[in-house]
Structure 1
Amino acid sequence: MPEVTCDDTGTAPAVTAEIQGALDAARVQVDSYSTAVAALSDAVSAAESAASAAPASPTTPDTSVDAAPAGETPQPPTGQPAAAAEGSAATDGATGEGTAAADATPAARRSPMVDPDNDNLFRRVLTLPNASLHADVTDTGDGTELPVFDLLYVFDEALAGGENWLEVGSSLREGTSGWIRTADTLKWSSMLVMNFAPRGSRGQVLFFDDATVLSDMVNSPYYSSEAAELYDRIRAEREKVQADPAYQPVWVRELVAIEPETAVTFDNQPYLLPILDWREEAFDGADETVLLKVAAVPANASAIAPRDEKSFEVSADSSAARNDGVFRIGVTFVIDTTVSMGPFIDRTYQTIESFYNAFQQFETTQNVSFGIVGFRDNIGNNPSGLEYVTRIFQPLDIEADPATVLAQARQIREATVPTVGFREDSFAGIQAAISEMDWKPFDARLIILVTDASAREGGDPLAALASVTSDTVADGANRSNIAIATLHLRTPANSADFASGEAQYRVISSTGDAAVQKYVAIDATSDEEFGRELDTMSRTLAQAVVTASAGEMINSVEALEPIPAEGSSGRLAAAVRNEIFRAQLESLAAANGGDAPTFLAGWAADKDLSDPKRRALEVSVFLTRNQLSTLDKRLDLIVQAYRSGGDDPGAFFDKLQVLAAETSSDPDKPIPEGRDIVASILPTFLKNLPYRSQVLRLDREYWSSISVAARQEFIESIDGKRRVYGELFNDTKKWVDFGADDPGLEATPVSLRNLP
């Protein structure tokens, strides 16, 4: 460029004028580019909003860490979740997955702070009752009140007026909203929550103020008696209050709260138990457990204190005495009606008849309803002879009288022709009972499966329902609050098939109270043992309904009746009684407002302190629609890699390595080896959970060591989880908007048992 000087008047020579003209022209061009960029930015934002509700293809390689890239909108397979994309190719804005370095938001859009304990997560908080949003830290007014459970990203923090403040926003797209006092929030970057496990046979959860006290109890050889002493102290103080209302109780000071005796369920009484910290321990060095630091925030909480004194006061007995509602039981028999089942079909009819006889004796027939589903198998080879795969003989109907139900039960006949192989489609029968019966009027919900054959599942071409496994059946029953009991008939003819069926039916028979196995093997060389089990159960049910209708507890919360050992007579009746007791506790909570306790922080064990074989708390993780969609797509990629590689374990892992490279957000990152291969394909949030992931432990050596059948079973289990995701994604009642006003940011708790 030539040297430019000005004359005495300050006028630039011609060359300067030429340069100035070029600069002016450049500025016009830059302004034009800026206008175009702004228009493009607006178009991208509009596309992102549109994509929030648009499905993303689960077969398209996902180049993001945890979200579907914007603009991928092909229709997904039926029943599979659709993505609500957040428009970042490196992070999932809905979930905060990724690091600040990976953030791809425009420079004008600020990123949230990275969580100091986990650089894979953005920093997030939950609002407590009475939290309010302020324009800045100098705002001394009341501010704008925020809803409890509002989930906010943290963009900055400051100290002002002796208080700590956080600058927050509900969405990455919208940026910051204002400032909130740190004291009015709970740190919750992980999105992990605990839910109370179904009640029944287990004791109440105790929440400790000090983790050391709980740890010492768990590690003691006398943990059960020490827990019993705490329960006794609470009960003794409660009895003193009942005897003298003026008495000032001295509750157990080591505790901040106790779970109510009546059962708390998320559907009836929404609550959050966000996980703040955790550590692994073992009961007396044997049974593993996880100690969890949680807060307890019921949805209707108006204030939260360090300790919940009221949680110690209410007993289930007093709730039962106040309850004047009708307690209803719905029982659906799902019966194998293939060849060889004739004697057991007849005996089932007699059992239903004995049910009614027992209830008529107690004048409680109006409180119990029966449904009947028959199932056979694929009718392709002989449609006229087999007639049906499933048939509803009697729907659940609170208006149906005994004569009608018995008349319909009389219509059940065994098939006149055999099916292909020994397996039958019992899962199709159970699915019909779950989805086609009206369970809404019933407090206690029971399915009783009667069969002598294992079930078709997974990729079986003769199965009526694709991708159905024992896990998906159990999940569907649990989501409908239905417990399944199985009477598995053992005969000389099914000796080769029996073990396979037992493994399947034990999974579905752990529904309801998972601590009580409701699988019962029956010697079917005659129908006598079968009849005894059902007759005992009919009497037990009748007595339970009479007790509940009289305003009394079916079982004692203080001294739960033991369940007979497997193989013992009467086990089915005891297990069913326990399920009705569980339903009574839930019914009382719904009728009398059995809220979860409320406290800022407390420590609890995820296993029952009296018996660590029983689960007391179940961990779930709140996943957004974006996360669930991405997880589904990544698992589908793994399934397709297996199916395209045949039985060669090496070919499968070679394909996984290619997938790991394709889905990596860092093209310069070395190709992973060992367990890092699968870990690099799946979303990062899976690696940060306090429980071990089955899929993340996969490596080439392990995969090569297991049989072809075991590999197929593993892949079918993944496919089964994807089916659960599809059903969950379409269940709109389960999704919560945490204030982001964006379909992609809606979240729902997903149990760890449904994660890979």
Structure 2
Amino acid sequence: MTRVVRGLLIITALLVSGSALAQEAGESKPLLIEGKKSLYQRALAKPGAKLVSIPGKGDAAPVTPFTAFYVYSRVEIEGKNWVQVGYDSHGKKGGWIPDQDLIEWNHGLTVSFRDPAGHNRAMLFRDAEQASKLGAGTNGAELDSLYQAAIKDQLPPDSPVVALQPSAYVDIKDDFYLVPIREFKDVFVGPEQGRLLRVSTVPHNAPVEAVATPPATPESGKSLSTGVVFVIDSTLSMAPYISRTKAAVRKIYDRIAKKDPQGNMAFGLVAFRDETTSVEGLEYRTMVFADLQKGSTAKEFFSQVGEVETDKVSNKDFIEDSYAGIKRAIDDISWGDFQARYIILVTDAGAREGNDPLSGTKMGADTLRQLARDNNAAIFVLHLLTPAGADNHASAEKQYKALSLYPGIGDLYYGVKGGAVSEFGRIVDLLTDQLVAQMRRPDTAEPSTQEAGATQDQQLTQLQEKVNKLGYALRMQYLDRPRKGNIPVVFDAWMVDRDPKEPQRKTVDVRVLLTRDQLSELYQMLREVLETAEEGLLSPRNFLDDIKSLAATASRDPERMAGSTRSSGAKNLSDMGFMMEYIEGLPYTGEVMSVSLEDWRNWPAKRQLEFIQRLEEKVSYYRALHDHTDLWVSLDGGPVDGDSVFPVPLEMLP
């Protein structure tokens, strides 16, 4: 290349940069997405991306991985494409990044892989045609052949399959990765409606080369560290059950001490009653009596739980605040490095729902269950079906089955008929024995339906089978913990969001990547909409439009949530004529998007209240998630702050 040509290219770069600077004298805006009037182009920085002030010149500054930029300009210099990026849509530009170091991302949706234990792993295809042909299950024999070749790492260079989901579950909170959705197409997978997704798969840390290491075995590795926290109703009727629970725990400690002194298992205990101001003498709503960190030995555990006693008075009505007990266990128990985390709720009464004035959580079963899942905890419920609570049994069972629902396994609920102490004791012994056995499990074989033991109790058999499956999944995660970087690095591939072999099973969870500040903004905005509606200052149309505007903006461009509703004194997307523009092109949307004004008007008052209640419970979930600083990921490696991120499940958006 001649000096003249090189000089002209440099001058071009300077002119481009100068033009950008000139634009900043006025208010420059990012580039619009093609065909859109208000949505700007955005891009994610790949790990290792660097920022320069002039394309191809000057010192390069490292960029925090996965920073979401707005795109202001694009140029080509010496055959290399450069993108001018900014931190907001109001002209705050950061500099230039090579196009190859960015991932186009025009909304905030990403997916995370579900646990593949017991199922086929998700496959990443070279193009949409192959993904549709093979991933949708229309050619089973060829798909099976490719799958086996991928497992054996024997795919030829021209294979339609470019990568496979890791063999073990990768917890996005421990080994952060992103699978941003770049494009989508509708497709049927068997009889099920699915999506073809064009994605990039990018681990936060650079891939680590595989190092030959012997597989973990009981002889070479430690037992599965297991934390079990009992959340026990300590109201007047519960004294014999508290004593029997203590006896079950003592048996386990004795068994571990005799047969497996190296066993890594600890117990905790949280007691709950009810709201204290309405009834004198209840003393507390919840109390932690034993923490896991001090419950690894019988001496430590029983020195703490000896003071657990039932109250001397009855609460206001039969139901109690068991949800507050669960949340206390999630929030205040030191779960530390326990790989298996179990909460066992023991109660004879239903729970106060989030809309109950006496509720201490303002959360329902769905939002509380999600908070437990965010913290990798499974919830069991032992529901004592005593004669005194007969009128409450059906509604409480519905609550607790929803609370204990575990993805891919089912609910972990058991109703103790008649509430007999002896029967309760038998179930507690069997359940805890099973958890101890899983801690020491000597192999990785899939659980057999025979392992639950012979019993005529169908409910118990089903629960034990579910516990086996859950334990197997956790054991596999432990024995086959992937190294950081095990998520394949693929910057352009297609996948199907359902399993071709099991079309009813989804292979991914859809999430919205939010910063902690953005979640706080969502909390404030949604609360403001609900309060304004409660005051009668919003018509049904404007109420729905505000909620939809907030949900669409959170999914499309979270930075622009402030001022996206009438309740905030601004205009919502519908007012500005942009609602459909925001919704069109989103591969997935939340509950509110399917609710029309006609639907709302046709709903009975009860259904309208239930809809509002779910929104109010999500407000409480946002606050709880915001306060769980241990869940947030700081992509720059620093302490948790407003820029730390968390992939919020899509169903938790409005």
Q: TM-score, normalised by structure 2?
A: 0.79
For the pair 1:284 / 2:180, whether they are aligned, the reply is no
Q: 1:544 aligns with which of 438, 442, 453?
A: 438
Alpha-carbon distance in structure 1 between the residues aligned to 2:117 and 2:257:
27
Match of 1:77 in 2: none
Using a 3 Å threshold, how does the CA distance of structure 1 residues 496 and 274 change in structure 2: closer, same or farther? Answer: same
Kindly state the Cα deviation for residue 485 of structure 1 after the two structures are TM-superposed. Answer: 1.4
Equivalent in 21, 46, 56 of residue 128 of structure 1: 46
Matched ranges for 1:195-234 at <5 A: 195-198=112-115, 200=117, 202-217=119-134, 219-220=136-137, 231-234=147-150
Match of 1:476 in 2: 371
Q: Is the 8 A contact 1:205 1:259 kept in 2?
A: yes
Q: Given that residues 447 and 484 in structure 1 are in contact (C-alpha distance below 8 angstroms), is that contact kept between their aligned partners in structure 2? A: yes
Q: Are residues 737 and 593 of structure 1, via their aligned partners in 2, closer, same or farther at CA, if it must alter by over 3 Å?
A: closer
Displacement, 1:562? 9.8
Selected match of 1:690 from 575, 584, 587: 587
Counterpart in the other structure of 1:754:
652
Report percent identity of matched pairs: 28
**Cross-structure match for 1:426:** 322
**Which amino acid is the alignment partner of residue 28 of structure 2?**
R
| Cα distance in 2, alignment partners of residues 228 and 348 from structure 1 | 49
How do 1:509-528 residues align onto structure 2 when only pairs under 5 Å count?
A: 509-511=404-406, 513=407, 515-524=409-418, 526-527=420-421
Q: How much does 1:438 deviate?
A: 0.9
For residues 720 and 599 of structure 1, the distance between their equivalents in structure 2, rounded to whole angstroms, comes to 37
1:78-130 deviation per Cα after TM superposition (whole angstroms, max 9, x unaligned)? xxxxxxxxxxxxxxxxxxxxxxxxxxx97524221112264442212223355
Choose the corresponding residue for 2:29, options 111, 116, 120. Answer: 111
- SS for the counterpart of 1:341 is helix
Q: SS of 2:81's equivalent?
A: strand
Distance 1:690 1:498, change over 3 A: farther
1:485 to 375, 380, 387: 380
Count how many residue pairs are aligned between Structure 1 and Structure 2.
Answer: 611
Name the amino acid aligned to 2:497: D
Instruction: Tell me the residue number matched to 2:16.
Output: none
Q: Which amino acid aligns with 2:429?
A: D
Distance 1:615 1:563 in 2: 28
Looking at structure 2, the residues matched to 586 and 230 of structure 1 have their Cα atoms a distance apart, in angstroms, of: 25
2:204 aligned to which of 289, 299, 304 = 299
For the structure 1 residues 393 and 742, does the alpha-carbon distance in structure 2 shift closer, same or farther, using more than 3 Å as the test?
A: closer
Name the structure 2 match of 1:273: 179
Q: In 1, distance between residues paired with 2:589 and 2:43?
A: 25
Shift of 1:334: 0.8
- Kindly state the Cα deviation for residue 206 of structure 1 after the two structures are TM-superposed: 2.2
Pick one of 518, 533, 545 that aligns with 2:427. 533
In the TM superposition, what is the alpha-carbon distance from 1:301 to its structure 2 partner? Answer: 2.1
* Displacement after TM superposition at 1:399 (Å): 5.8
- The match for 1:370 is 267
Kept in 2: contact 1:686–1:693 (CA 8 A)? no
Q: Partner of 1:496 in structure 2?
A: 391
Measure how far apart 1:544 and its partner are: 1.8
CA deviation map 1:202-221 (0-9, x unaligned): 44322222333443456548
- The Cα of 1:471 is off from its aligned counterpart by 2.9
For residues 50-83 of structure 1, give each alpha carbon's deviation from its aligned partner in whole angstroms, at most 9, with x where no partner exists.
xxxxxxxxxxxxxxxxxxxxxxxxxxxxxxxxxx
* Deviation per residue, 1:388-412 (Å, 9 max, x gap): 3223332213564224435655654
User: Secondary structure, in 3 states, of the residue corresponding to 1:318?
Assistant: coil
Q: Is the 8 A contact 1:298 1:596 kept in 2?
A: yes
Equivalent of 2:71 in 149, 154, 178: 154
From the superposition, tell whether residues 282 and 495 of structure 1 become closer, same or farther in structure 2 (CA, over 3 Å): farther
Amino acid at match of 2:392: D
Distance 1:652 1:111, change over 3 A: closer
Residue aligning to 2:103: 186
Deviation, structure 1 residue 432: 1.5
SS of equivalent residue, structure 1 residue 496: helix
Higher relative contact order (CA 8 A, sep 6+): 1
1:50-89 equivalent positions in 2, closer than 5 A: none
Structure 1 pair 703–356 and aligned structure 2 pair: CA distance change class (3 A): same
Q: Distance in 2 between matches of 1:471 and 1:375?
A: 20
Aligned in 2, Cα 1:319/1:587: closer, same or farther, shift over 3 Å? same
The aligned residue for residue 71 of structure 1 is none
If each structure's strand is expressed as a fraction of its own residues, which one has the higher value? 2
Q: Distance in 2 between matches of 1:678 and 1:372?
A: 52
Rounded to whole Å, the distance in 2 between the matches of 1:428 and 1:140 is 58
For 1:622, the aligned partner's letter is: L
Aligned to 1:579: 470
Partner of 1:255: 161
Instruction: Tell me the alpha carbon deviations over residues 470-497 of structure 1, each in whole angstroms, 9 at most, x when there is no partner.
Output: 2332232122221111122334443432
User: Given that residues 548 and 592 in structure 2 are in contact (C-alpha distance below 8 angstroms), is that contact kept between their aligned partners in structure 1?
Assistant: no
Indicate conservation of the 8 Å contact 1:608/1:615, yes or no.
yes
Query: How far 1:187 moved relative to its partner?
Result: 0.8
Q: Is the 8 A contact 1:133 1:145 kept in 2?
A: yes
How many Å separate the matches in 2 of 1:383 and 1:690? 53
Counterpart check, 1:397 vs 2:397: no
Match of 2:348 among 444, 448, 452: 452
1:755 to partner: Cα distance? 0.2
Q: Aligned residue for 1:632?
A: 523
Distance 2:75 2:489 in 1: 29
What is the CA–CA distance in structure 2 between the aligned matches of 1:152 and 1:531, rounded to whole Å? Answer: 58
Partner of residue 31, structure 1: none
Structure 2 runs not aligned, ≥5 long: 1-22, 550-561
Please say if residues 132 and 142 of structure 1, whose CA atoms lie closer than 8 Å, have aligned partners that are also in contact: no
Alignment of 1:92-111 (within 5 A): 108-111=26-29
CA-to-partner distance for each residue in 1:679-701, whole Å, 9 max, x for gaps?
A: 98999867753223222333333
- Rounded to whole Å, the distance in 2 between the matches of 1:736 and 1:186 is 20
For 1:280, the aligned partner's letter is: D
Residues 122, 199 of structure 1: alpha-carbon distance in 2 compared, 3 angstrom cutoff: same
Deviates more, 1:677-686 or 1:579-588: 677-686
- Following superposition, the deviation at residue 572 of structure 1 comes to 3.1
Over 3 Å counting, the alpha-carbon distance change for 1:269 and 1:743 in structure 2 is closer
Bigger Cα displacement from structure 2, 420-429 vs 160-169: 160-169
Matches within 5 A, 1:663-702: 689-702=586-599
Aligned ranges for residues 581-596 of structure 1 at < 5 Å? Answer: 581-588=472-479, 592-593=483-484, 595-596=486-487
Instruction: Give the superposition deviation at 1:594.
Output: 6.4
The alpha carbon displacement at 1:583 in A equals 3.5
Displacement of 1:190 after TM fit?
A: 1.2
Rounded Cα–Cα distance in structure 2 between residues aligned with 1:748 and 1:416: 44
Structure 1 position 589, deviation (Å): 5.9
Does the Cα contact within 8 Å between 2:589 and 2:650 map onto a contact in 1?
A: no
Which whole-Å CA distance do the structure 2 matches of 1:322 and 1:679 have between them?
66
**Letter of the 1:270 counterpart:** F
Over the aligned positions, Cα root-mean-square deviation in angstroms equals 4.3
In 1, Cα distance between equivalents of 2:179 and 2:112: 7
Structure index of larger Rg? 1
Amino acid paired to 1:755: L
Measure, in 2, the Cα distance between the counterparts of 1:408 and 1:610. 50
- 2-structure distance, mates of 1:743, 1:209: 38
- Distance (whole Å) between structure 2 residues aligned to residue 319 and residue 543 of structure 1: 17
CA drift of 1:263 comes to 2.0
- Listed as ranges, the matches of 1:11-90 within 5 Å are none
Q: Is 1:439 the counterpart of 2:328 in the alignment?
A: no
